[in-house]
């Protein structure tokens, strides 16, 4: 680990559809997230026999599967009172949209999502553009009323 602009950097392997990238990627993680990760790993070691190789595991120390994650997201959505059909990709989409709203920087969103092509990231701009159009419409209507 080394120091980055916002916290520490760690090397990770990303898993995509059962394949692992051979070269690790550098990921910047806020120090508070690393503290939470350390706490999780200690709890995981206590509750699951041994010290699991993977960070995200089932109670029998197996890595979580995509099906397991989908079921977990749906279960917690129900507990939160969300009735709309939801799946893990919604979380990624929500993060990207919120990050774009906050930063107004499509290149940062592209990097955060790991997209090689900017066109892939531009899918998220339509939501922000729709919000801008709605805000401009409200502004114009307020100006007409004031005049």
* Whether residues 38 and 91 fall in one domain: no
Calpha distance 12→79 (Å, rounded) = 31
Instruction: Supply the range of the domain harboring residue 92.
Output: 87-147
Whether residue 56 lies inside any domain: the answer is no
Whether residue 27 lies inside any domain: the answer is yes
pLDDT digit string (tens) for 46-94? Answer: 888 767 788 888 888 888 888 998 999 999 999 999 988 888 888 888 8
Calpha distance 47→74 (Å, rounded) = 24
Q: What is the per-residue pLDDT for 70?
A: 92
Task: Give me the sign of the Cα torsion angle 59, 57, 97, 123.
Answer: negative
Q: Which residue has the higher pLDDT, 44 or 26?
A: 44
Q: Which residue has the higher pLDDT, 83 or 147?
A: 83
Whether residue 143 lies inside any domain: the answer is yes
């Amino acid at each position: 680990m080394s120091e980055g602009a916002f916290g520490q950097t760690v090397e990770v392997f990303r898993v995509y559809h059962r394949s692992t990238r051979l070269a690790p990627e550098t990921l910047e993680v806020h120090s508070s997230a690393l503290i939470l990760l350390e706490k999780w790993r200690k709890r995981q070691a206590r509750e699951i026999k041994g010290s699991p190789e993977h960070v995200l595991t089932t109670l029998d120390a197996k890595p979580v599967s995509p099906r397991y994650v989908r079921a977990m997201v749906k279960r917690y959505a129900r507990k939160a009172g969300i009735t709309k059909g939801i799946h893990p990709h919604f979380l990624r989409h929500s993060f990207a949209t919120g990050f774009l709203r906050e930063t107004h920087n499509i290149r940062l969103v592209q990097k955060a999502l790991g997209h090689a092509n900017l066109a892939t990231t531009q899918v998220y701009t339509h939501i922000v553009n729709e919000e801008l159009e709605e805000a401009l419409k409200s502004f114009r209507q307020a100006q007409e009323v004031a005049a």
